[in-house]
Amino acid sequence: MKLKIKGEFDAAHKLKNYEGKCHNLHGHTYKYEIEVVGDIDPQTGMIVDFGKLKSDIEIFDHDYINTYKDLEDNPTAENIVEWLVYRIEKIYNIKVVRFELWETQNNSVVYENENL
């Protein structure tokens, strides 16, 4: 069964390995949509709790992304998505089918698990 969530969070970052204005500290209102697949837990009747999953995706809300391990130097949208997908799959023992993260209203990164 699949589960889908949309949400948003505000966070700051800077791209240390980038030459341009994004090298400086700045922030975004990130919007996201995630789709996961997993088995329904017979005890809870859920694949995963919506609130807990949102909380784990929105871990960066009102925070500085560069302070997170493995994102210190290069917290691009692409690296943020990879970091979140890995984290969510490990925490919940589910598979992320698709994750789209909008850094602006016109620019997004899409992860798609081509094995599902």
Radius of gyration of the chain (CA): 15
2-112 carries CATH number 3.30.479.10: yes
Q: Which residues of 78-101 are buried (b: 16+ CB within 10 A; e: fewer)?
A: ebbbbbbbeebeeebebbbbbbbb
Residue 116, pLDDT > 90, answer no
State the pTM of this model: 0.95
Residue 85, pLDDT > 90, answer yes
Per-residue confidence (pLDDT) for residue 110, from 0 to 100:
98
Query: C-alpha 80: how far from its chain's center?
Result: 6
Output the average pLDDT for the chain. Answer: 96
pLDDT digits (tens, 9 = 90+) for 5-56: 999 999 999 999 999 999 999 999 999 999 999 999 999 999 999 999 999 9
Do the beta carbons of residue 67 and residue 61 sit within 8 Å? Answer: no
Token pair 């859920």 is at which residue? 46
Domain ranges of the chain: 2-112
